[in-house]
Amino acid sequence: MAAPSEAVIQARGLTRRFGELTAVDSLDLSVVPGEIFGLVGPDGAGKTTTLRMLAGIMAPTSGEGRVAGCDLKTNPEGIRNHLAYMSQRFGLYPDLTVRENINFYADLYGVPRSERKNRMGELLDFSRMSPFTTRRAGDLSGGMKQKLQLICALIHTPRVLLLDEPTNGVDPVSRREFWRILHRLLQQDVAILITTAYLDEAERCNRVGLINNGRLLAAGSPEETRGLMRGRILSVRSDQARAVSRLFSRDLPSISTTVFGDTVHVVCEDLETTRSAAQRLLDEQGLPYRDIREAMPSLEDVFVSVMGQEESVTGGNGEETEAEAVPEGIAVEVRELTRRFGRFVAVDRVSFKVPRGEIFGFLGPNGAGKSTTIRMLCGLLRPSDGGGTVAGYDIGRESEQIKQHIGYMSQKFSLYEDLTVEENIDFYGGIYGLTGERLAARRDWAVSMAGLEQRRKSLTAVLSGGWRQRLALACAILHEPPIIFLDEPTSGVDPLSRRRFWDLIYHMADRGVTVFVTTHYMEEAEYCDRIAMIYHGKMIALGSPRELKTTVMRDRILDVRCADSQRILEKVAALPSVHDVSLFGAGLHVACADTDAAAGEIRNLMASEGIPVERIEPVTPGMEDVFVSLIEAVDREEAEGTHG
């Protein structure tokens, strides 16, 4: 790595205050050309404020900094000539088409007409936005708007690239392609500073900084950062992971548990003692488990450990959660549900049933039809054909009754920015008919659940994105509805906040509340009881996470860890025994039929390239593997049909 004197981004004692609030506190930071530096931290930690100062948009209160040789205080205009900055808030023009927005930014950055055609085509292809170039930006889904803003930010090659949570709401296929683009920019010596809520993305950075309350707590390579983990991790795989987590939280002292699909992570000090106690409890309770062993900490584990806020995702204590039996019956049922917009078919003959008390995941790429389906189920959009029921009410004829029996958190921010936190809660409470002591009690609950006890009187406009999401969720379930629709509820929310969300979701589902959720966090998909996958408006798969992994994934998966997985990716993909390869955290997931043959070829390739191998081992496919496999299989079938 280059010496600090060669850094193209430098900050020394950088500080920003807003009245009595210190948003960024004496920050020291440097990023050199050809480096990706990831800044991660809780909501409101100061990440966005840091980027706004470095972009020359906001003046620091004290301290100093230079970007591309330009001083933050004396020459902010000079900085803007050398960087591209993508903010969390959309910088798009809703009345312009996709292509017109891209051309506008290309003109703004001075990209010659002779160069922009190939660049635009490459970016449109990686983002799967090519079919939508004539659509107005205002008519795009939230995730598609995010991808369009990515394209606009990358239409030129700057010296410095500042990205504020650029892949929020973007599906896994597009996220993988986006990181390929970033690594190509590194080869052109671009310095990249990125904030992200996806901790697997932070694994791909050259260095990572953990920030909290405006202060940089630690910085180093992902491997160095993992060394900050307090305690060790015991991993337990079970088909009843939520029950296992509840049991451990109740009967094992001084530990914290987190559920990751069919796996429970137990953070403890004494691994062997905890392993023995865990096995004894599981055997006594007759709970099945397939594997119990030590696991390497992920950056998400480290994030929670360093922040000192380990939380259980067990949904309350065991006795309380298990006290009520879930009533039988169907909460949601749709038959041949279809929605057209002119000639465009957004949802194409979708059918499924959701029992009461089920956590039902709805997955698909941006623009696949997820949000359109939810809007029909919530009575906000009439179906073109087909039908169904929600809470026993017909979605075509009884939309008003449906609205009284559901909670709905939309992808778009649905609160009023010029109202305070409490005023927003009171407004939604009034809509749902809450008054008096009942409203006061639910208001206190909502403020506590959202973690906004100190910000009751704050305007919603000044809250960070994560706090807004929490407040929106609290307002959506204020009236304790039997069915909840959550459209990407944790997009852009830090890991601690996501755990709080899922703690609440588990708690409600165990009491018979039906949760219908869309997400692009594949770990969250693992938390669902069943998953439906939709692509191009059609249902392409339905089943439990385990069923999808065993029936859809015919290939075996090799997890490959090495020093520079991005550089070797294309050469691994060309090996005879390899069917497919993709970035996965800091490593690669290799799909193949014969793991021994593929592992041998990969080791020989690494040796010839002089790249040390950390490990190559077979692993159980994750939901991200399943997601990508399904999407690519449909694309291949459509391409073969077209050629035929």
The three-state (H, E, C) secondary structure of 85-125, written as one string = EECCCCCCCCCCEHHHHHHHHHHHCCCCHHHHHHHHHHHHH
Query: Given the DSSP bridges, would you call strands 215-220 and 70-71 parallel, antiparallel or unpaired?
Result: unpaired
What is the pLDDT of the chain when averaged over all its residues?
Answer: 86
- What is the C-alpha radius of gyration for the chain, rounded to an integer number of angstroms? 25
| Co-location of 25 and 127 in the same domain | yes
- Domain endpoint, select from 160, 193, 221: 221
Q: Could you tell me the pTM of the whole model?
A: 0.80
Binned at pLDDT 50, 70 and 90, residue 415 comes out as confident
| Co-location of 281 and 166 in the same domain | no
Binned at pLDDT 50, 70 and 90, residue 313 comes out as very low
Region 191-199: mean pLDDT is 89
Residue 577, domain CATH: 3.30.70
Number of domains present in the structure of the chain: 4
Which residues sit opposite 558 in a β-bridge?
590, 618
Binned at pLDDT 50, 70 and 90, residue 29 comes out as very high
Q: Residue 565 class from Cβ within 10 Å (0-12 exposed, 13-18 middle, 19+ buried)?
A: buried
644, part of any domain: no
Torsion of CA 540, 542, 544, 545, to 10 degrees: 10
Residue 32, domain CATH: 3.40.50.300
Q: How far apart are CA 291 and CA 296, in angstroms?
A: 15
Alpha carbon distances (Å) from 226 to 18, 243, 297, 464, 546: 33, 29, 7, 27, 29
pLDDT of 318 reads 34
| Co-location of 166 and 148 in the same domain | yes
| Co-location of 369 and 462 in the same domain | yes
pLDDT of 411 reads 65
- Taking residue 120's Cβ as centre, other Cβ atoms within 10 Å add up to 19
Tell whether the model's pLDDT for residue 209 goes beyond 80: yes
| Co-location of 167 and 52 in the same domain | yes
345, part of any domain: yes
| Co-location of 34 and 139 in the same domain | yes
| Co-location of 317 and 334 in the same domain | no
Determine the structural domain holding residue 275 and report its residue range. Answer: 232-322
Contacts 24+ apart (CB under 8 A), 553-557: 553/621, 553/625, 553/626, 553/629, 555/579, 555/580, 555/591, 555/592, 555/593, 555/629, 556/591, 556/592, 556/593, 556/594, 556/595, 556/618, 557/589, 557/590, 557/591, 557/618, 557/619, 557/620, 557/621, 557/625
- Domain endpoint, select from 221, 246, 279: 221
Region 192-207: mean pLDDT is 88
| Co-location of 357 and 417 in the same domain | yes
| Co-location of 314 and 432 in the same domain | no
626, part of any domain: no
47-83: per-residue pLDDT in tens?
Answer: 999 999 999 999 999 999 999 999 999 998 889 888 8
Instruction: Name, of 184-193, 275-284, 473-482, 585-594, the range with top average pLDDT.
Output: 275-284
Of residues 145, 152, 93, 147, the one with CA closest to residue 120? 152
Residues 284/266, Cβ–Cβ less than 8 Å: no
Residues 388/333, Cβ–Cβ less than 8 Å: yes
The sheet with strand 359-363 has its strands ordered as 406-409, 483-487, 514-518, 359-363, 530-535, 538-543
